[in-house]
Amino acid sequence: MKIQFLGTAGGRFGVSKQIRASGGIYIETCGKKLYLDPGPGALVHARRNNIPLEELDAILLSHVHQDHTNDANVLIDVLTKGGWKKKGTLIGSRTAIEGYEKIEKAVLEHYLKFLEKIVVMEPGDTFNLGDLKITATPTKHGDPKGIGFVLKGEKTVSYVSDSYYFEGLEDYHKGSDIMILNHIFPREESTAEKKNNCHTDTYSAKKLIERTNPELVITQHFGITMMKIGPDNEAKWLEEETGVKVVAAKDFQVFEF
């Protein structure tokens, strides 16, 4: 199994500054190739890191926000050879694929018709991609239909996605070998205002890790202040507090299991 981070920046300001890249996550597991949340720069960084975009089995979109979907259309175009070869599966939130109420969808109709299969997921839904079981999990975020994912295959990987901590979130991510945690805010930004801003801070990350007890936590999707103080410092604190191995991902870092 392989997980590669094609960028570790998160949030509108973290992405706009491009101090770190924001290209999303590439995963190989159970013989399948997945691209998760292709943000701005996904195409460029995938090419520079020799990601086999033409061989993708699925593109996963957790929610509609641009830092998670910006390059989805162009990846579909690459995968399907401009629509000449209908193939691939798009899996994602209702907002990202269909839109919801006043929220416009992220993937254009022009590219949706290029795909072999489209799977719109709500929390609790499951979908099998070969031997890989994908389960959608709930989030609390600015996107009312946003979801996380649990990928159960060679290893069980939880992708919490953008969310603040809420009671019961841990129930959807228990039993994971690896948790990928979008960690926008460090301890010094853990004000009530920030906590209600729909993202994870270090203290709520600690609570979630303690209540799920995965084998490994990989933090990513860092905000501007987090980048300035150093994600490694927060990861070290979380590891000391929880006793769980916590690693702050670096741009283009590869994890193999």
Is residue 10 within 8 Å of residue 22, measured between CB atoms? yes
Name the residue range of residue 141's domain. 2-256
pLDDT of residue 198: 78
Whether the per-residue pLDDT at 193 is higher than 60: the answer is no
pTM as predicted:
0.96
The number of folded domains in the chain is 1
- Start-to-end CA span in the chain (Å): 5
Q: Report the CATH number at residue 141.
A: 3.60.15.10
Is residue 178 within 8 Å of residue 216, measured between CB atoms? yes
**Residues 32-58: pLDDT tens digits?**
999 999 999 999 999 999 999 999 999
